[in-house]
A and B are shown apart, each in its own frame.
Chain A
Amino acid sequence: MHLIVVGLSHKTAPVEIRERLAVPESRLGEALTRLSSYSGIKEGILLSTCNRVEVYSVVDDVDTGYGRIQEFLADTHLSLSSEQLTPHLYWHTGDRAIAHLFRVAASLDSMIIGESQILGQLKDAFEVALAHKTTGVIMNKVVKKAISVAKRVRTETKIAEMAVSVSYAAVELAKKIFSNLDEKTVLLVGAGEMAKLAARHLIAHGVEHVRITTRTPQHAVDLAAKFGGTAVPFDQFKDDMASADIVLVSTGASHYLVGAEDVHRAVRERMNRPMFLIDISVPRNIDPAVRHVDNAFLFDIDDLKHRVEQNRAERVQEAEKAERMVLEEVATILEWMKSLEVTPTIVALRNRVDDIKRAEVEKVLGRLGHLSQQDRELVEGLASSIVNKLIHRTMITLKTEVNSSSGPAFVEAARRFFHLDRPAPASRQTEECADLPRYLSDRSDSVETEEPDQQPSMRKQAQ
């Protein structure tokens, strides 16, 4: 039972390959069904976005699994041959595959580190896989863990907080002036691409009213319809400025359209309510002298770019923190996966029942001191045979089911039925379990909480 990933991403493949390999959402189910029809593929999930196409799978044999998935990927697009594809693919198995999934989910592998879309895409891919029943115990647990790791990274680091695009930087700055963008009004003067993008971000963050003015009246009317806003005649926009909390200027004009005096008047009319002015035109359209006007905050394209640069640098730092979290989490999931292996489970089960048997026999023989040696052996034999008969079927089932798709589920069930993950009774814990691997004796503790003194060894494992 091995977890593997095969795929390609923006880091390994050019867009020409990625776009051909990408599986549209409508055909995801069909592709998954095809994937699970390959022999040796026990579980599978297909993550397909514009930046990556990856197959995560639980397979019997790593090398065969790699081959099958490669075949599967080559078959998804008719015009792609295996030879064209192979140079762009990467393969990981075990802890490295898990770490890769966690890093992808936490957006550490994204083109723009910290972007939030990937988590939603992973959730969607998981849901499709669930709907088509192509995942099992292992995949379900690992993907759910990936989602929770991503959330943890999001809340415990600032990786997603900082704007790394100029248009988004405008939103970030706006939020330092207005705590709540709901019911705020934005006035677009001219409508370059970047301005439109910034306007979209602002609307997505709650800005309610959009007013638009452009030199060509019809253009403004068209855009107003698109944004659900109001068109304002170009020669009147300065009088309209007082009604706008945010003014976004991006025209091709070669001179200052808005002077300090205009802004001063607008702020006065607004009874000193703060105003946020963004000038993303080059050459600039708002007189830089505006920054001397109280309660008016002017930022030009360089300021926004500067902010983006700063954020990029900070994100790299935050990403390092996130990487450490990923390693920790990989260690915990590896512990869990190890517990699903059959052999240790059978050993643990054997030890468990022997413990119980020995304890009970000692208790009884202590009270039956008058028994002869022969009788004592008889009692012991009786206990052994009851115990062995009781667990016999379980052992057989575990051994036969180990290679079926529901194998891990049986192991998990056996561990729970026989309390194999609980520490043995206190008095014998140290002597009886000392030779067992730690995950057998106290897995329930180590999976949920990482004790500080365990971490170094976990990291080592994870690496």
Chain B
Amino acid sequence: MAAVCFMMTLVLYIVATVSFFSYSLRRSEALSKVSLGITVGGFVFHTIALAIRMLGASSSTPPSFSEALSFLSWMIILVFLVVEFRHRIYVLGSFMVPLALVSLVSAAALPESVPTLQPVLKTLWFHVTLSMLGTVGFTVAFVAGVMYLIQDRLLKSKQFNVLYSKLPALDFLDHLNQQSIVLGFPLLTLGIVTGAISANFSRGSYVSWNPEQTWALVTWVFYFVVLLGRLTVGWRAKRAAYLTVIGFAGVILTLVGVVLKGHSALS
């Protein structure tokens, strides 16, 4: 049942991605509603799939990384839908839904056996959830950054095309970028702390400088500087957009680090 729902979600998100892409390039307004409807449909299936998994799993089984990515995808869509229904920026879907899809495809492609951490501990659930919520924050910041840079480019080059008319105002995107980091940063901080505690229980040391931990710390420092720069010396607008796009690479590398660690642990 869960597998069927999961497959349905995957299919619907693929269709929604295609639909949202064509929406961003065409003048049709009807397509926005269709794309949004498909996304909501996928989201419902995904919610059911996750709920079945949650009910089936006991708190003593460690969450697999595949499940964590699936959760990440679910959260991205949830945040998208919330922003969408508040601000009606359909074109956001052209950026967010593909990211959720990538996350979901990764979840499907990874073997179930890649664990987040070997030991069986309740703190692990906190670690995974908080880190993933933090990742959602940075994902939204990344999307806002990309959209900002596109709109900035279009305005500067005076290309008033379809995308220009669909993208929201620059200061809205800048604000969205800031809010996402402000929310994502403390979550990542807590995610790292709980991760370190879990690691201490299982390995006896808080930090072992594996790729996952290294990248997580690098990312943390990076966003800390970005946030500080914004609040003190005015790293906003275009610079903030660039920085968050770069910072997202750190987030991705951290996630890759988790997979690598999982593989080495298995072998």
Query: Is B236 touching A273 in the complex (CB atoms < 8 A)?
Result: yes
Residues of A within 8 A of B158 (CB): 299, 303, 306
Are B156 and A272 interface neighbours, CB within 8 A?
no
Residue of A nearest to B234 (CB): A271
Residues B238 and A295 in contact, CB atoms below 8 Å apart = yes
A237: Cβ under 8 A from any B Cβ: no
CB distance from A113 to the nearest CB of B (A): 17
User: Number of A residues whose C-beta is below 8 Å from B?
Assistant: 22
B112 at the interface (CB under 8 A from A): no
Q: Is B3 interfacial (CB-CB < 8 Å)?
A: no
Asked whether, in the complex, the Cβ of B237 is within 8 Å of the Cβ of A274, the reply is yes
Are A177 and B171 neighbours in the complex by a CB distance under 8 Å?
Answer: yes
Q: Is the CB of B156 within 8 A of A179?
A: no
Number of interface residues of B (CB under 8 A): 21
Q: Cβ of A176 and Cβ of B236 under 8 Å apart?
A: no
**B152 to A: closest C-beta gap in Å:** 8
Contact with B along A270-300 (1 / 0, CB 8 A): 1111100000000000000001001101010
The B interface, classified by DSSP as helix, strand, loop or mixed, is: helix
Q: Are B170 and A274 in contact (CB under 8 A)?
A: yes
Q: When chains A and B are docked, how far (Å) is the Cα of A270 from the Cα of B237?
A: 11
Contacts of A175 in B (CB 8 A): 169
Contact yes or no, A179 B172, CB < 8 A: yes
Min distance, Cβ A351 to any Cβ of chain B, angstroms: 42
**CB-based contact B160/A272 at 8 Å:** no
CB <8 Å contact, B155 and A310: no
29 A-B pairs in the complex with CB atoms less than 8 angstroms apart: A158-B29, A173-B155, A176-B151, A176-B164, A176-B167, A176-B169, A176-B170, A178-B171, A179-B168, A179-B169, A179-B171, A179-B172, A180-B171, A270-B234, A271-B233, A271-B234, A271-B236, A272-B239, A273-B234, A273-B237, A274-B171, A274-B174, A274-B237, A294-B237, A297-B156, A299-B158, A306-B158, A307-B160, A310-B160
What residues of chain B have their CB less than 8 Å away from a CB belonging to chain A? Answer: 29, 151, 155-156, 158, 160, 164, 167-172, 174, 233-239
- Per CB-CB distance, the 10 closest pairs between chain A and chain B, nearest first, are A271-B234, A179-B169, A179-B172, A272-B234, A295-B237, A272-B237, A177-B170, A272-B236, A294-B238, A178-B171
Interface residues of chain A, those whose CB is within 8 Å of chain B, are: 158, 173, 175-180, 270-274, 291, 294-295, 297, 299, 303, 306-307, 310
Known: A176-B164, A177-B171. 14 other contacts (CB 8 A): A175-B169, A176-B155, A178-B171, A179-B169, A179-B171, A272-B234, A272-B238, A273-B236, A274-B171, A274-B237, A291-B156, A294-B239, A299-B158, A306-B160
